[in-house]
Chain A
Amino acid sequence: MAQLLRSGCSGRVLCSGAVGAARSMSTAWWRHVEPAAKDPILGVTEAFLADPSPNKVNVGVGAYRDDNGKPVVLECVREAERRIAGNLNMEYLPMGGSVNMVEETLKLAYGENSDLLKDKRIAAVQALSGTGACRLFADFQKRFSPDSQIYIPVPTWANHHNIWRDAHVPQRTFHYYHPQSRGLDFASMMDDIKNAPNGSFFLLHACAHNPTGVDPSEEQWREISHQFKVKGHFAFFDMAYQGFASGDPERDAKSIRIFLEDGHLIGCAQSYAKNMGLYGQRVGCLSVVCEDEKQAVAVKSQLQQLARPMYSNPPVHGALIVSTILGDPDLKKLWLKEVKGMADRIIGMRTALRENLEKLGSPLSWEHVTKQIGMFCYSGMTPEQVDRLTKEYHIYMTRNGRISMAGVTTGNVGYLANAIHEVTKSG
């Protein structure tokens, strides 16, 4: 062994021998580590990138594309970046993040003139986009409501399950999607809400439900809120698509506003990944509505205690972009215009896809394509049909049949409709 080492690893055989000998000397710590399963969503893009076909279409991950299928950096973002380049410093933000950014962000969710804001009743911290906000809340829930569980809709974004699991919060599910109608299973959902023990924690998608695109109507939200009141349930809203669903951020926050009107003390995760196109910057916000300012101060301090051993303080760049845009009336106007533009394009693609499928004479109903809202369409296709789409047509999407409408363009909608028709026409 020493001889091998002294002679140096000059050749392959020697080297592997040396390593082999070393391996037998002490344990290889990670030998038992199994390769982890690929992430179902991000794995789709990996596969897409590896495909050499010129016809390939990526309707997998929920990142917006323009009508040429290209990623978009919003004009307001480019302008904000120009302004902040050459920044005075890159110092640590406070643990709770950028105060400016958080203030502006709360206005979006809670309303510019919200009493809650005036009365300082909202505990809020900057978080690592929507994921980070959910995870921070889950950790907080575990620490301060250790006996609680989380009720998660079926289906939901796959990572929701991972987040609450890693926070060691037990999970339950509630009915949400109705496969037959490709709409909301409202009756079963209300049953589940009624049957859950009083004071249960529920995860709700504020708008543009991911992956189904199925949202409750305003009246349905009111009933849900009422029932929550009766049962004393806690509502945690994941709002990742404000502005992106209808094109109007105020309208997209309706569910939250209804709950606030009813006096609920909600929690809310907000993300700028999609509506400001800041995906990779990881900018978001976690807020918890409290009884009074004193409690809000306490809750915020405890949220910070959870952030500190995870990443100390959140990244500054994305937060600066957000506060630059939202703090400047002209830039904010531009942003609202650009968000509407993105939402309108998606709504246009929904219409186009449905029309194409109907023109092809599909025996199935595609009404849900235009009824569903937001970035995703839950097509109703089976995993086997999805596999055919990928294998035969080089169309990439998650196996639950979720189509990211943001990936649909006037250039590929015909091809997509044809492929979907081909794999579904036999029923």
Chain B
Amino acid sequence: MHGGGNTSPSFSSFSSSSSSAADRRLNALVRHLEGSSLNGSRSIAASPTSGSHGAPNSVFDHLVRAPEDPILGVTVAYNKDPSPVKLNLGVGAYRTEEGKPLVLNVVRRAEQMLVNDSSRVKEYLPIVGLSDFNKLSAKLILGADSPAIQENRVSTVQCLSGTGSLRVGAEFLARHYHQHTIYIPQPTWGNHPKVFGLAGLSVKTYRYYDPATRGLNFQGLLEDLGSAPSGAIVLLHACAHNPTGVDPTIHQWEQIRQLIRSKALLPFFDSAYQGFASGNLDADAESVRMFAKDGGECLVAQSYAKNMGLYGERVGALSIVCRSADVASRVESQLKLVIRPMYSNPPIHGASIVATILKDRSMYQEWTIELKAMAERIISMRQQLFDALRSRGTPGDWSHIIKQIGMFTFTGLNSKQVAFMTKEYHIYMTSDGRISMAGLSSRTVPHLADAIHAAVTRVA
């Protein structure tokens, strides 16, 4: 309607409420139209294609409905299923042994403290977010003794969880970095290419997962990164790769680091599972720290969605490790220009909870214990599922279930088998065969094992 100006707006909606005012305007309009060379079509009657109330044509008439998000759409389908044995292994949100979401005790305590503190206000945070939160987050991922932090070479800004941190970092790179190509592993979290694409980067892939071994295609990875143009950005999952659960060993990480530095590639870490993968915060940060320690530059997106169970609060941070304090300061000022026209400043609640916990010694301790418990429950689910498949004599090698790490298992099941499991066993998971181990319990493992067994033996 706006473009060519050839469609006549439908004015029949003038026949609504305040009639005399509307009539007056209608008459004025008719006079105006008859006197003007506005456009060819003169009809004031409801156009046959307009809505039920004779509404004028929408400028967004041409829109089609977007497809459901493949991951979040799984939960939508699950919710619709009336079966009592249904199992949701789709979205990566932790569940207890009883299948319930979990708010960590230490988070409850922190939140109560905040509510009871009547001196707290809800003012705008600075554009870069809560200062304490930023400092503590940088220390958490880079290590309290990180030279980069001590030398003030790290610029950290609070963002909306991992997604927000990735998007802000990507927008910054698209504006200020000389290379606009980012290499992402194959496969990766479904939202990654969209985040980088919308930020203005062009997306390429590097080999990562080997379906034959259900492990890392290390050679392919080295070859693909080796042939990337100098300076290209490389997305690395810090630990607990999503969706495969396949991580490089420490030795492999060192080789990756050397390759990246030798080609002056720019590492961009996505750290969504620190502490959640092995149960140990330092161990899960080893890959990132390796890079931060070598004097080079890198970006890190951190999320507290899983490891603090703060999913819906959208708490995260983007850190950019720079060569000098002066550069870090200028970088921060430019990050603000990305953030301000996006949402002005980040939400205060979740970051306040995190800061409260991280800065208090006993609360921090309590957190590490609860975190370890979550990680261990998941590791135990892996073992139970593996044992259940073995005891059923399910054909195939299922050792990858206990070798992979983190919230997800890349089962190796194909989309036909997945569809079968959904239809016959009411198991909900993404069609790439990824299951969220966090959604399993001792009680439901047998049902899943039965489903997998059936799928493998009956569906090609």
A positions within 8 Å CB-CB of B? 9, 15, 18-19, 22-23, 26-36, 39, 42, 61, 63, 71-73, 77-78, 81-82, 85-95, 115, 119, 121, 128-129, 131-132, 135, 139, 144-145, 147-148, 159, 162-163, 165-166, 197-201, 222, 226, 229-230, 232, 234, 261-265, 273, 277-282, 288, 290-292, 295, 297-299, 301-302, 304-306, 308-318
Contacts and interface: CB of A to CB of B under 8 A. Distances in A.
Interface stretch (B120-128, B235-243, B433-441): B120-128
Nearest to B21: A222
Contacts of A139: 198
Given A90-B103, A198-B38, A279 B123 contact: yes
Interface stretch (B135-143, B345-353, B416-424): B345-353
A291 B115 contact: no
Contacts of A144: 60, 62-63
Contact of B126 (A42, A159, A162, A305): A42
A199 B1 contact: yes
Contacts of A163: 341
Interface of B: 1-3, 5, 9, 11, 13-14, 16-18, 21-22, 25, 28-29, 32-33, 38-39, 50-66, 69, 72, 91, 93, 100-103, 107-108, 111-112, 115, 118, 120-127, 147, 151, 160-161, 163-164, 167, 176-178, 191, 194-195, 197-199, 231, 261, 264, 266, 295-297, 305, 309-314, 322-324, 327, 329-331, 333-334, 336-338, 340-350
A200 B3 CA distance: 9
A201 B93 contact: no
Q: Which 9 A-B pairs have the closest CB atoms?
A: A199-B2, A263-B13, A291-B51, A316-B312, A280-B348, A128-B343, A162-B341, A311-B160, A89-B101
Given A33-B334, A34-B330, A166-B342, A85 B311 contact: no
A10 B13 CA distance: 79
24 contacts: A15-B151, A23-B324, A26-B261, A29-B177, A31-B327, A33-B330, A71-B123, A85-B112, A86-B108, A121-B51, A128-B343, A144-B62, A199-B59, A229-B9, A229-B25, A234-B2, A278-B122, A280-B348, A288-B60, A290-B58, A298-B65, A306-B198, A309-B167, A315-B347
Contacts of A28: 297, 322-324, 327
Contacts of B112: 85-86
B58 A291 contact: yes
A163 B344 CA distance: 10
Contacts of B194: 308-309
B69 A308 contact: yes
Contacts of B330: 30, 33-36
Contacts of B167: 309-311
Given A19-B295, A42-B126, A229 B16 contact: no
B198 A27 contact: no
B256 to A, nearest CB: 17
Contacts of A73: 120-122
A371 B389 CA distance: 77
A35 B112 CA distance: 40
B95 to A, nearest CB: 10
Contact of A308 (B28, B38, B191, B334): B191
A36 to B, nearest CB: 4
Contacts of A310: 160, 163-164, 167, 195, 198, 342
A25 to B, nearest CB: 9
Nearest to A167: B341
A18 B62 CA distance: 60
A261 B18 contact: yes
B303 to A, nearest CB: 10
A169 to B, nearest CB: 12
Contacts of A92: 72, 91, 93, 305, 311-312
Question: Chain B's interface: helix, strand, loop or mixed, by majority?
Answer: loop
Given A90-B310, A229-B9, A281-B348, A315 B160 contact: yes
Given A28-B327, A279-B123, A310-B163, A229 B345 contact: no
Contacts of A304: 66, 69
B399 to A, nearest CB: 32
Contacts of B151: 15
A382 to B, nearest CB: 26
A201 B2 contact: yes
A44 to B, nearest CB: 13
A263 B56 contact: yes
Contact of A315 (B32, B163, B333, B349): B349
B334 A36 contact: yes
A81 B195 CA distance: 33
A125 to B, nearest CB: 12
A33 B331 contact: yes
A33 B198 contact: no
B101 A88 contact: yes
B63 A165 contact: no
A33 B58 contact: no
A95 B25 contact: no
Contact of A298 (B21, B63, B101): B63
A148 B65 contact: no
B5 A198 contact: yes
Given A144-B63, A280-B123, A299-B60, A317 B350 contact: yes
A314 B160 CA distance: 8
A233 B5 CA distance: 10
A215 B266 CA distance: 50
Contact of A39 (B1, B56, B340, B349): B340
Nearest to B113: A85
Contacts of A234: 2, 59
A265 B59 CA distance: 9
A135 B164 contact: no
B5 A302 contact: no
A159 B340 contact: yes
A33 B348 CA distance: 29
B327 A292 contact: no
Contacts of B195: 309-310
B171 to A, nearest CB: 8
B295 A27 contact: no
Contact of A290 (B60, B160, B323): B60
A265 B349 contact: no
A333 B157 CA distance: 38
Given A91-B101, A166-B342, A298-B64, A309 B191 contact: yes
B271 to A, nearest CB: 16
Given A39-B127, A86-B108, A281-B347, 9 more contacts: A28-B297, A29-B178, A31-B327, A85-B115, A148-B59, A198-B5, A232-B9, A290-B60, A292-B52
Contacts of A87: 103
A315 B312 contact: yes
Contacts of A121: 51, 55
A26 B167 CA distance: 26
A131 B341 contact: yes
A90 B161 CA distance: 13
A23 B198 CA distance: 32
A34 B329 CA distance: 10
Contact of A311 (B72, B100, B164, B344): B164
B20 to A, nearest CB: 13
Contact of B115 (A82, A222, A265): A82
Given A89-B103, A309-B195, A165 B345 contact: no
B314 A302 contact: no
Contacts of A278: 122
B340 A27 contact: no
Contacts of A22: 295-296, 323
Contacts of B310: 90
